[in-house]
Structure 1
Amino acid sequence: MASTQGAPGGGNSGVKRYQLGKECELRVEIGDDSRLRLRLVSGTAEIFGTELPPENWLSFPPGHKFAVFTWHGATIELEGKSELAYVADETPMVSYVNVHAILEGRRARARSSSTDSEPSQGPRVMVVGPTDSGKSSLCKMLLSWACKPSWKPTFVDLDIGQGSITIPGCIAATPVEMPVDPVEGIALEKPLVYFYGHTTPSINVELYKVLVKELAQTLEKQFASNAESRTSGMVINTMGWIEGVGYELLLHAIQTLKADVVLVLGQEKLCSMLKGVVHGKDIVKLHKSGGVVPRNTKLRQRARSTRIREYFYGLSNDLSPHSSIASFNDFSIFRIGGGPQAPRSALPIGAEPAADPTRLVPININADLLHSILAVSYAKDTDQITSSNVAGFIYITDVDLQRKKITYLAPCPGDLPGRFLLVGTLTWSES
């Protein structure tokens, strides 16, 4: 039930108070032009597995969607305008926390069986399912619950369409040492980021596979020298494309990242298919939350734009990106993929040259780069570019062909950490 009373401090939007019973949740959707504050008045509650501090107001930016869940009962107050806010008493949270308990047991066993020379492997859990099934939300819960008893799991994000660690168009991983902040999201500790450059894998399927493999190999090296990370395991988020090529990429990711637990959200057919071909791993079907909101193409594009804006300006416009001007010859720009693997003369008669998905193609700077997002590679040589992770991103705001100057926006002032830049199809309009 919900009751309303006046706003603290004389605000115009008023305060709504919600009484939540045991194992209920308050589902909230904030409009794109609204802001909202929330606080826990009594009881205990959590957002994405992170406990709310009592009596502290949390400020949420426009467009946020979340659920406040309580195991034992709580009173919640909302101040501001929400597009939707309602209490639900049917949630899949008990099954989610049961999965967490099993993962905890595996982490504990891995820790007890580890030696100084050979750390044991903790659980590597991959969350799969169709678009808008709540995969990223479940990942956040599993990470937050794992961090409470001081585990430090690695979060791997393979969803290039949205991007939970960095901007869309990337495959990334980061160690997680603290429960996920309900507003700010995952605190980034030395994220490992590979730039794919597109928001759908169909543009270059083989490159997507190559980058997943590079990420996996780098993580294995890190785990070999860090027993704590290895025993804490991984939580892996995946794309919502689960048919055809998407299904093929899912199988590739399970094998490459050596996932031993696959959680299937809201898709019985996918669960059955995986059980038929993936052996020696636990395939577990879970119900998706009733609070999951389906998004159309326009909403997805808006979410991508918001993620890119947050990278440069911060969640609350609290960052000041730096505009710089550089000469065309200050750096080299490349696209990965394209161009024939072999000249037509070297092919059998009648055969057509196929595009090389990992070929490095130099890009001439022209007006087409305007509004593009470019990645700054750590590579020191061109032959390292495809396999190198990236330092960050810049946004092209002007291309002056006469003066051969390019103007770009970067998160901070100073020289770029590398002179090799990568471009894909990722663009952004600052308006």
Structure 2
Amino acid sequence: MSTMSGAPAIKTFTLSKESELRIEVSLDAPLRLQLTSGTAEIFGTELPPQYWVTFPPTHKFAIFTWNGATVEIDGTAEVSYVADETPMVSYVNVHAVLDRRRARAKEQLMSSSSDSQGPRVIVVGPTDSGKSSLSKMLLSWAARLSWKPTFVDLDIGQGSISIPGTISATPIEMPIDPVEGIPLEMPIVYFYGHNQPGVNPGLYKLLVKELARTLDLRFAANADARAAGMVINTMGWVEGLGYELILHAIDTLRADVVLVIGQEKLYSMLKDMLNGKPNIDIVKLHKSGGVVSRSPKYRSRMREFRTREYFYGPSNDLSPHSSVASFSDLHIYRIGGGPQAPRSALPIGAEPSADPNRVVQITINSDLLHVVLAVSYAKEPDQLLSSNVAGFIHITDVDVQRMKITYVAPCPGELPSRLLLAGSLTWMDEAAYRAGS
């Protein structure tokens, strides 16, 4: 260990074979680290040797080594310790099986007009079981072998590809950067608009179907993507409606490998339910001891960080652009609510229920302050349900008297569409307020 007078110590950690250094960066300050000897990886992505990597606040990760490594840390971590017991061998064994299936699918697709398909892997388990971490590992290991698997994120509570409240997919062509996260060159994003599936489960299911249809079209036109398959990350809600949505995702996305992390009960239920279905493998995996339980308050704060990252970048190096529009320039819609049919059209004694897919235009008023809106690719309102979104804007001011609305977008210029979608997502841009003070 080395220090300079008045400066924090640079800590050195020596990792033995198949061990990992688990780190939780503090909420208030970044942390730097470098690999000084040996080889190591973070969520399947190799660390460059002799190169300082800076991790922003709140990051939680593990540096794993297969053969031994030495790592230096500059800065203060909330938690940092070395663990010798990890489930990594079982995880990489799953990767090896998937790799063989991809190779077989590619060979069959090249040799004939076969309808062969690479593995469609869905990762399920309760909250804080390490689903997103395992998804990143499987994707990065595949990318290191030159596959380009598709990552599908159904976790509306946190969001790995886009902001929370969305379901999305994107091809992974390179190992995932441990700081920058999932690359966003070609994402397909559908706007659900809420952090909980119970708000409108009918809409959630519809969007999963739309995403599945879009991916099938992409795979039909791209044999390499088809052979590489997909890795599907899911929510941590595994009981009641959550379990129903897991089964719906398995069926709709035609998953053929189900990885169950951290819950025997869920594994048993899925085994019984899917036992009669051919060509579905259900694999039980242990969760890592490094997985940290997150409080509802922490999860809420992480959602704010994810939204902030969209506008400012992971390293706060982007400059979002503020624009003013007239009320008449924007057409804002909400999906769900409103009666499905008038009471007179229902059987005697039946109560009208909300239509989960009803598209309703909303009046622009001060209630939209701080709301995050999705910019749809739809050309007409009747296309809103089936259209993915181009991006998001954040409402920073609503002047009812002048009928002007001020919004922040990631980049300047005209919006791709004047048709916008609202849900229950809001965000207080504290960074902008601090910067202006």
Q: Does 1:371 align with 2:370?
A: yes
Structure 1 residues 176 and 11: CA distance shift in structure 2, 3 A: farther
CA contact (8 A) 1:371 1:395 kept: yes
Q: Does 1:135 align with 2:131?
A: yes
Cα distance in 1, alignment partners of residues 25 and 50 from structure 2: 21
Deviation string, structure 1 residues 211-235 (Cα, Å, up to 9, x no partner): 0000000000000000000000000
Equivalence for 2:434:
none
Cα distance in 2, alignment partners of residues 182 and 42 from structure 1: 19
Cα distance in 2, alignment partners of residues 118 and 173 from structure 1: 25
CA contact (8 A) 1:49 1:144 kept: yes
Equivalence for 1:152:
148
CA contact (8 A) 1:119 1:231 kept: no
Distance apart, 1:117 and its partner CA:
4.2
Distance apart, 1:426 and its partner CA:
0.4
Deviation string, structure 1 residues 346-399 (Cα, Å, up to 9, x no partner): 122332211100000110001111000000000011111011000000000000
Q: Give matches, 1:168-247, under 5 Å.
A: 168-247=164-243
Deviation string, structure 1 residues 164-184 (Cα, Å, up to 9, x no partner): 001000000000000010111
Equivalence for 1:382:
381
Equivalence for 2:433:
none
Quick one: which of 110, 116, 122 aligns to 2:118?
A: 122
Quick one: which of 273, 276, 279 aligns to 1:277?
A: 273
Q: Does 1:287 align with 2:286?
A: yes
Distance apart, 1:343 and its partner CA:
1.2
Q: Percent identity between the aligned chains?
A: 70
Distance apart, 1:11 and its partner CA:
7.4
Cα distance in 2, alignment partners of residues 113 and 250 from structure 1: 30
CA contact (8 A) 1:176 1:189 kept: no
CA contact (8 A) 2:108 2:114 kept: no
Cα distance in 1, alignment partners of residues 106 and 357 from structure 2: 39
TM-score (norm 1): 0.98
Equivalence for 2:3:
6
Equivalence for 1:52:
47
Equivalence for 1:399:
398
Amino acid at match of 1:372: V
CA contact (8 A) 2:56 2:314 kept: yes
Cα distance in 2, alignment partners of residues 174 and 11 from structure 1: 46
Cα distance in 1, alignment partners of residues 245 and 316 from structure 2: 36
Quick one: which of 52, 57, 65 aligns to 1:62?
A: 57
Cα distance in 1, alignment partners of residues 184 and 410 from structure 2: 15
CA contact (8 A) 1:313 1:319 kept: yes
CA contact (8 A) 1:172 1:191 kept: yes
Amino acid at match of 2:101: R
Deviation string, structure 1 residues 168-213 (Cα, Å, up to 9, x no partner): 0000000000001011111123100000000000000000000000
Distance apart, 1:13 and its partner CA:
1.5
Cα distance in 1, alignment partners of residues 273 and 315 from structure 2: 45
Q: Does 1:267 align with 2:263?
A: yes
Cα distance in 2, alignment partners of residues 118 and 368 from structure 1: 54
Amino acid at match of 2:3: G
Cα distance in 2, alignment partners of residues 242 and 208 from structure 1: 15
Cα distance in 2, alignment partners of residues 118 and 179 from structure 1: 29
Cα distance in 1, alignment partners of residues 206 and 410 from structure 2: 28
Equivalence for 1:347:
346
Cα distance in 1, alignment partners of residues 2 and 285 from structure 2: 38
Amino acid at match of 2:127: T
Cα distance in 2, alignment partners of residues 167 and 244 from structure 1: 25
Equivalence for 2:10:
15
Equivalence for 1:88:
83
Structure 1 residues 11 and 95: CA distance shift in structure 2, 3 A: farther
Q: Tell me, which stretches of 5 or more residues in structure 2 are unaligned?
A: 431-437
CA contact (8 A) 1:204 1:357 kept: yes
Cα distance in 1, alignment partners of residues 235 and 6 from structure 2: 41
Amino acid at match of 2:235: M
Cα distance in 1, alignment partners of residues 396 and 114 from structure 2: 50
Distance apart, 1:100 and its partner CA:
0.2
SS for the counterpart of 1:426 is coil
Q: Does 1:24 align with 2:19?
A: yes
Q: Tell me, which stretches of 5 or more residues in structure 1 are unaligned?
A: none
Q: Give the RMSD, CA atoms, in angstroms.
A: 1.0
SS for the counterpart of 2:425 is strand
Q: Does 1:78 align with 2:77?
A: no
CA contact (8 A) 1:378 1:417 kept: yes
Quick one: which of 95, 99, 112 aligns to 1:100?
A: 95
CA contact (8 A) 1:119 1:230 kept: no
CA contact (8 A) 1:120 1:227 kept: no
Moved more, 110-119 or 79-88: 110-119
SS for the counterpart of 2:390 is strand
Aligned residues: 426
TM-score (norm 2): 0.96
Deviation string, structure 1 residues 13-67 (Cα, Å, up to 9, x no partner): 2200000000000000011102100100000000010111110000000000000
SS for the counterpart of 2:357 is coil
SS for the counterpart of 1:162 is coil
Cα distance in 1, alignment partners of residues 102 and 141 from structure 2: 13
Cα distance in 1, alignment partners of residues 268 and 347 from structure 2: 43
SS for the counterpart of 1:302 is helix
Q: Does 1:256 align with 2:252?
A: yes
Cα distance in 1, alignment partners of residues 313 and 46 from structure 2: 24
Equivalence for 2:435:
none
